[in-house]
């Protein structure tokens, strides 16, 4: 036999009918319901009659809509005429029409009006399971008439576990966000190898979240729910990933890029995911599904906002500034917005605060700024000993190091793999313990380097590097002072 239960319902009660079907079929009880099981090209009336003839039980989803439905009346009449047992699942306490009363008054019925739907579905499934265990001869006997219908006594429904649902949902969404952030930042900054283990570490939590949601018995089957969860997690992960790229040492996104990506790509994805999740929130057994889903989305937004504020206020990476309006003279005695390697600090020199760099290895000072293609960088510098360089248009694709030595300056080009190409060199007397002013101007393919207002290098690169930021690099066994750094559009 292809199916055991024929579900008769009005089109207005489709959601409840599908929930009943899902509950029964989860227990291995095959159901038939239109239009799902009507074969393509099969006549509608023929399919209904064949399905009723093959059914062991006819389940009527009774509501005001079903009470007024001619189609439901025809299906009930056919089932009664065939002697198939009928169970009425009553959603609202409304009087039966005379036609339905004639056929249903002597059959078993179940009153679900005003009761939690999930519990009623479990009890209904228990009843049908017991009914299907009756001997074949008794299963099709004319049911015994009774004076008036009344509620049936049923065992307790299986208990839900809402804590597991919430724990699973948070585990799934949080792990998905973490995975997207790790993958995105790795792709933008070239750290794929280092992040592979971190990505693998999030996968068990994603799977654990799915398991907890399944064990919670929330009956997740709505077509909107999982697409909503996935889209929302990916959208939040992308936004956090873009912010992470901008905060990274090798960031290559400008402020305009970040605003555009977040506002025109990230925000629509998040809004779309939130709508799908809100629309697909499980309703079965949930007293206030809309309130619960709205509360979850609001809490998630507050958590994301709180995390962002914490990162901005106390995170290890400073707030990103616009490179085209960057300046710092260290007059407050601090290097706020800089990431300093060991050997860099702010010190007082002749009454002024300056950035002091020294050490036994290459020591870098990174300003947390966005990227740009054309700009002019200026700074005052003093060589105490050794040499240093300024890396300009720095990104994952490479950079242009400008080496400042006591007797010359050199312009090189560094590729993504660490290869160096010498582009230009100028001999001049910089000396030690004397302050000088350097200006580097980037305009398209052209790179110009001025020392104390004099043009010393003028070079055009046929294959210029893309936009980038800058950083300072103090060489081994060197000691330098840097002050009055500024960047302006060019």
Q: What does the alpha-carbon distance between residue 18 and residue 471 come to, in Å, rounded to a whole number?
A: 62
What CA–CA distances, in Å, run from 79 to 53, 305, 361, 390? 8, 58, 89, 87
Going from N- to C-terminal start, the domains of the chain cover 5-139, 162-314, 323-489
Between the two ends of the chain, the Cα-to-Cα distance in Å is: 80
| Nearest CA among 294, 368, 302 for reference residue 338 | 368
> What's the pLDDT at 358?
92
pLDDT band for 250, please (50, 70, 90 cuts): very low
Find the radius of gyration of the CA atoms of the chain. Answer: 36
- Place domain 323-489 in its CATH homologous superfamily: Exo-inulinase; domain 1 (2.60.120.560)
- Phi then psi for 471, rounded to 5 degrees? -155, 165
Looking up tokens 């104390």, which residue turns up? 452
Name the H helices within 133-224: 136-139, 162-189, 192-215
Q: Is the backbone of residue 324 left (phi > 0), alpha (psi -120 to 50) or beta? A: alpha
Contacts 24+ apart (CB under 8 A), 116-121: 116/285, 116/287, 117/16, 117/19, 117/283, 117/284, 117/285, 118/157, 118/160, 118/219, 118/284, 118/285, 118/286, 119/157, 119/285, 120/89, 120/157, 121/19, 121/20, 121/23, 121/157, 121/284
pLDDT band for 155, please (50, 70, 90 cuts): very low
pLDDT above 50: residue 366:
yes
> What's the pLDDT at 360?
78
pLDDT above 90: residue 409:
yes
Q: Are 51 and 107 in contact (CB under 8 A)?
A: no
CATH number for the segment(s) 5-139: 3.40.50.10140
Whether residue 155 is preceded by a cis peptide bond, meaning omega within 30 degrees of 0, is no
Q: What is the pLDDT of residues 345-356, one digit of tens each?
A: 999 988 899 999
Q: 338: helix, coil or strand?
A: strand
């Amino acid at each position: 036999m292809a199916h055991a239960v024929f579900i008769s319902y009005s089109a207005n009660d489709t959601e409840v009918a599908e929930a009943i079907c899902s509950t029964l079929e989860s227990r291995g009880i095959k159901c038939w319901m239109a239009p799902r099981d009507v074969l393509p090209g099969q006549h509608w009336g023929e399919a209904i009659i064949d399905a009723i003839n093959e059914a062991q039980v006819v389940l009527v989803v009774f509501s005001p809509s079903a009470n007024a439905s001619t189609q439901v009346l025809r299906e009930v009449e056919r089932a009664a005429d065939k002697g198939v047992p009928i169970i009425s699942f009553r959603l609202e306490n409304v009087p039966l029409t005379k036609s339905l009363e004639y056929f249903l008054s002597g059959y078993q019925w179940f009153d679900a009006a005003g009761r939690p739907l999930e519990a009623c579905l479990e009890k209904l499934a228990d009843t049908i399971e017991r009914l299907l265990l009756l001997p074949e001869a008794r299963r099709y006997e004319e049911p015994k008439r009774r004076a008036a219908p009344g509620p049936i006594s049923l065992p307790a429904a299986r208990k839900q576990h809402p804590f597991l649902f919430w724990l699973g949902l948070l585990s799934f969404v949080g792990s998905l966000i973490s995975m997207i952030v790790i993958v995105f930042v790795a792709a933008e900054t070239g750290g794929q190898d280092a992040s592979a283990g971190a990505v693998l570490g999030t996968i068990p939590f994603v799977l654990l979240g799915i398991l907890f949601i399944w064990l919670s018995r929330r009956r997740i089957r709505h077509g909107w729910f999982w697409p909503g969860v996935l889209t929302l997690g990916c959208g939040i992960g992308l936004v956090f990933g873009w912010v992470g790229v901008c905060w990274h040492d090798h960031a290559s996104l400008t402020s305009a890029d970040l605003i555009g990506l977040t506002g025109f790509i990230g925000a629509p994805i998040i809004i779309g995911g939130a709508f799908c999740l809100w629309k697909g929130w499980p309703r079965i057994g949930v007293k206030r599904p809309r309130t619960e889903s709205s509360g979850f989305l609001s809490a998630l937004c507050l958590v994301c906002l709180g995390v962002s504020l914490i990162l901005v206020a106390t995170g290890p990476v400073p707030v990103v500034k616009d490179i085209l309006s960057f300046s710092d003279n260290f007059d407050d005695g601090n290097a706020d917005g800089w990431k300093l390697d060991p050997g860099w600090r702010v010190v007082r020199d002749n009454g002024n605060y300056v950035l002091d760099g020294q050490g036994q290895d290459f020591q870098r000072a990174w300003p947390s700024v966005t990227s740009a293609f054309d700009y002019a960088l200026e700074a005052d510098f003093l060589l105490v000993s050794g040499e240093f360089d300024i890396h300009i248009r720095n990104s994952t694709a490479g950079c242009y190091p400008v080496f400042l030595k006591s007797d010359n300056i050199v312009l090189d080009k560094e590729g993504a793999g660490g290869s160096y190409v010498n582009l230009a060199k100028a001999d001049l007397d910089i000396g030690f313990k004397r302050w000088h002013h350097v200006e580097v101007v980037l305009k398209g393919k052209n790179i110009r380097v001025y020392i104390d207002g004099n043009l010393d290098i003028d070079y055009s690169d046929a294959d210029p590097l893309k936009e980038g930021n800058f950083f300072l690099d103090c060489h081994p066994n060197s000691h330098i002072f840097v002050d009055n750094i500024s960047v302006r559009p060019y």
